[in-house]
């Protein structure tokens, strides 16, 4: 029973809980949208930043900055300056920087056009970088430039293949030489049965230059396997590459005009038979520098396969395998070398001089105006005009049957003079021979008389030594002109014989005998 004194609470009276202070319930966070979840963000309280990244957001940020960095590095690695970061690329970079392609990025040539070409190029470049980092690289990296890169839009499109171009190069003497060149047959047709590429001629790095034409490659194609010298053979002929000079050439003998001789049909080798030197051969031993398998080297004789693999499909410089062929005005001219036994003609590999020392040494020295004693050098006018031996020695001495056994000898005849000069010097060869013959006889008589007089006089001491020296000089000049065929240089031969007579007169003065007159034998 309830206490009557305790008031009964009314339903409207407040309860104890209603009498405590009221607190507002926190508002519910709205659910994150799909985009916030995808971006890795969630809401947060704050005045400035209302979102903060989740773990997924941090992963996305890391991936984003990583991608940007990789993209930046990829772009930088496409620049030529990046190539320079490897020290072994320094000569290539310097050659490129000094070339006509210095404003063209390396990748424009070394990566083929298109996404596939760029990706493949980047893969190759990456492998090179890995080799550099791991120290497994070679000192001479190999790279190839395809024709599609050269002829891409905005570069050397196919219009460059239409018509001939004039190419000016420097000769060994520094004089300009203009070469006529036509790209069309070289790139659209097979040459010697092989397909060429742009870089077959344009070397990628040549003595500090970049993408220039290597003349050695030209010489190999145009001269290898042909006969040179008397019966000069050149692919396309001399005039297919360069015309005869049109300007006058001033020589020590006067003014020379090529047009006068070319117009008469005189061939280039009459004066320039020594303009080619070398065979361009390939030693089998060369193959082992790149290949280490016997099966590969065994294909040494398969020339078509080798050229297709090395030249057409891949960029291998011709001079990497072939020995050099030189071509200039005096490339094959014999040179004088000094030895312990005196001055000799340089022995050329494969020439007669390997067995026959100083073959034609006397005539060659007479022609050059050297070798006689007691007078200065006096080159023949023909030598100073760069006329070669075969210009005069044109007539065959032996018949066909005899030549087959003993070989052929070519002699000089009057027709050789007329071949170049027309009838301007008609009969001059016989006149020269007659003059030399008389002068030799006169000198021989003087020598014989003087030697007999010395033997009879009985000279002693210093006078005898001086007389013998003078007689030796006189005998040398007489034999030099006689055996060297004085017609090779008439003026020099005559002067040498006069010196011989003067030497005899000097000896006669020592012993008091009458001198030989300047016009004949006797006083």
Domain final residue pick, 110, 143, 176: 143
103 found inside a domain: yes
61 found inside a domain: yes
476 lies in which domain range?
362-385+430-523
Specify the range with the lowest mean pLDDT, choosing from 129-133, 353-357, 413-417: 353-357
Using CA of residue 297, residue 300, residue 305, residue 309, what is the dihedral sign? positive
Mean local confidence (pLDDT), 435-440: 94
Whether 233 and 190 share a structural domain: yes
Q: How many angstroms separate the CA atoms of 30 and 33, rounded? A: 9
Whether 129 and 185 share a structural domain: no
Q: How many angstroms separate the CA atoms of 227 and 204, rounded? A: 31
For residue range 218-241, list pLDDT tens digits in order: 888 898 888 877 777 888 888 888
Whether 210 and 303 share a structural domain: yes
Whether 469 and 494 share a structural domain: yes
At residue 49, the pLDDT reads 65
Q: How many angstroms separate the CA atoms of 299 and 301, rounded? A: 6
Whether 295 and 397 share a structural domain: no
290 found inside a domain: yes
Whether 203 and 320 share a structural domain: yes
Residue of higher predicted confidence among 23 and 63: 63
Whether 398 and 451 share a structural domain: no
For residue range 483-504, list pLDDT tens digits in order: 999 999 999 999 999 999 999 9
Q: What is the largest CA-CA distance in the chain?
A: 193
Q: How many angstroms separate the CA atoms of 471 and 505, rounded? A: 10
Question: What is the band of 16 on the pLDDT scale with cuts at 50, 70, 90?
Answer: low
Specify the range with the lowest mean pLDDT, choosing from 186-200, 276-290, 351-365: 351-365
Whether 191 and 227 share a structural domain: yes
Whether 186 and 205 share a structural domain: yes
Report the percent of the chain where pLDDT is more than 70. 80
27 found inside a domain: no
Whether 83 and 65 share a structural domain: no
- Number of domains composing the chain: 5
Residue 386 contacts residue 380 (beta carbons within 8 Å): no
Whether 211 and 291 share a structural domain: yes
**Which residues 6+ apart lie within 8 Å of 221 measured at CB?**
191, 192, 235
At residue 500, the pLDDT reads 95
At residue 142, the pLDDT reads 73
Domain final residue pick, 26, 55, 71: 71
175 found inside a domain: yes
Q: Is the pLDDT of residue 125 over 80?
A: no
Q: How many angstroms separate the CA atoms of 493 and 432, rounded? A: 11
Exposure letters 341-376 (e unless 16+ CB within 10 A, then b): eeebbebeeeeebeeeeebbbbbbbbbbbbbbebee
At residue 234, the pLDDT reads 86
Whether 305 and 422 share a structural domain: no
Domain final residue pick, 143, 175, 199: 143
């Amino acid at each position: 029973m309830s206490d009557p004194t305790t008031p009964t609470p009314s339903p409207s009276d407040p309860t104890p809980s209603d009498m405590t202070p009221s607190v507002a319930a926190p508002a519910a966070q709205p659910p994150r949208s799909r985009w916030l979840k995808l971006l890795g963000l969630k809401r947060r309280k704050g005045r400035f930043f209302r979102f903060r990244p989740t773990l997924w957001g941090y992963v996305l940020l890391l991936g984003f900055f990583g991608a940007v960095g990789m993209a930046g590095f990829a772009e930088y690695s496409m620049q030529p300056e990046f190539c320079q970061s490897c020290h072994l690329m320094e000569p290539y970079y310097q050659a490129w920087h000094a070339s006509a392609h210095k404003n063209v990025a390396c990748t424009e040539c070394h990566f083929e056009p298109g996404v596939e070409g760029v990706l493949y190029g980047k893969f190759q470049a990456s492998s090179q970088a890995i080799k550099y980092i791991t120290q497994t690289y070679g000192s001479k990296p190999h790279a190839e430039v395809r024709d599609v890169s050269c002829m891409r839009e905005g570069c050397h499109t196919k219009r460059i293949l239409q018509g001939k171009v004039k190419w000016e190069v420097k000769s060994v003497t520094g004089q300009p030489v203009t070469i006529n060149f036509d790209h069309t047959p070289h790139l659209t047709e097979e040459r010697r049965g092989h397909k060429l590429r742009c870089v077959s001629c344009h070397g990628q790095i040549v003595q500090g230059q970049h993408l220039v034409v290597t003349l050695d490659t030209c010489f190999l194609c145009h001269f290898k396997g042909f006969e040179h010298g008397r019966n000069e053979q050149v692919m396309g002929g001399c005039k297919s590459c360069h015309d005869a000079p049109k300007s006058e050439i001033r020589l020590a003998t006067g003014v020379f005009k090529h047009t006068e001789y070319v117009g008469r049909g005189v061939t280039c080798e009459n004066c320039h038979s020594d303009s080619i030197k070398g065979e361009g051969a390939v030693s089998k031993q060369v193959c082992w520098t790149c290949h280490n398998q016997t099966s590969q080297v065994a294909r040494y004789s398969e020339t078509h396969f080798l050229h297709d693999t090395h030249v057409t499909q891949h960029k291998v410089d011709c001079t990497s395998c072939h020995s050099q062929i030189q071509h200039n005005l005096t490339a094959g001219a014999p040179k004088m070398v000094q030895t312990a036994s005196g001055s000799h003609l340089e022995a050329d590999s494969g020439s007669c001089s390997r067995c026959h020392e100083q073959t034609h040494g006397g005539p060659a020295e007479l022609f050059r105006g050297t070798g006689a004693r007691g007078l200065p050098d006096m080159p023949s006018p023909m030598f100073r005009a760069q006329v070669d031996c075969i210009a005069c020695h044109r007539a065959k001495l032996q018949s066909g049957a005899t030549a087959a056994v003993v070989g052929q000898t070519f002699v000089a005849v009057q027709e050789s003079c007329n071949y170049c000069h027309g009838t301007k010097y008609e009969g001059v060869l016989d006149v020269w021979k007659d003059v030399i013959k008389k002068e030799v006889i006169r000198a021989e008589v003087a020598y014989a008389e003087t030697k007999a007089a010395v033997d009879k006089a009985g000279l002693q001491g210093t006078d005898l030594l001086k007389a013998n020296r003078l007689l030796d000089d006189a005998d040398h000049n007489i034999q030099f002109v006689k055996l060297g065929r004085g017609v090779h240089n008439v003026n020099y031969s005559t002067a040498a014989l006069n010196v011989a007579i003067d030497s005899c007169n000097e000896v006669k003065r020592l012993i008091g005998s009458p001198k030989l007159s300047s016009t004949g034998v006797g006083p």
